[in-house]
Amino acid sequence: MTEQQNQQTHRMVLIAEAALLILGYALVMPVLLSSFDGAPNDAIRAWLNHSATNLWLLVAGTVAGLACWIGAAVVEKRYRRQGRMGGWKSLVRPVVTTVTGLCGFCVCFSLPLLCITHL
């Protein structure tokens, strides 16, 4: 591949990875917000108390969000650029990976608790 095609492929991979991460965060955000006291937690709990179907929608959305994060990790692993990056760019990937991992950990503990309290 030429250098221009390589850069274009890398750009498309970054866009796909960012889209998967953002979509994943959007889908798991209700579970993350339900872990904290406040208006978002109250609104989520009221929505869950409204119907049992809402709980299953939340579970399905959360599983889809986790799948998006896994998809982003697979895309990143497959198309990772070789070599070293300098400056602030070298910090972005580890920070995003750490934050996403911590959020995934919190989601995996919060979702069963939500299911237990609303079934």
Question: Residue 63: which of 86, 33, 31 has the closest Cα?
Answer: 31
For residue 24, what pLDDT is reported? 95
Q: Is residue 18 part of a domain?
A: yes
> Do the Cβ atoms of 104 and 45 come closer than 8 Å?
no
Question: How far is it, in rounded angstroms, from Cα 26 to Cα 78?
Answer: 24
Quick: pLDDT tens for 27-67: 999 999 988 888 888 999 899 889 889 999 999 999 999 99
The parent domain of residue 48 ranges over 1-85
Quick: pLDDT tens for 68-110: 999 998 988 888 776 666 666 677 788 888 899 999 999 999 9
Tally of structural domains, the chain = 1
> Do the Cβ atoms of 69 and 104 come closer than 8 Å?
yes
| pLDDT over 60 (residue 1) | no
Q: Is residue 115 part of a domain?
A: no
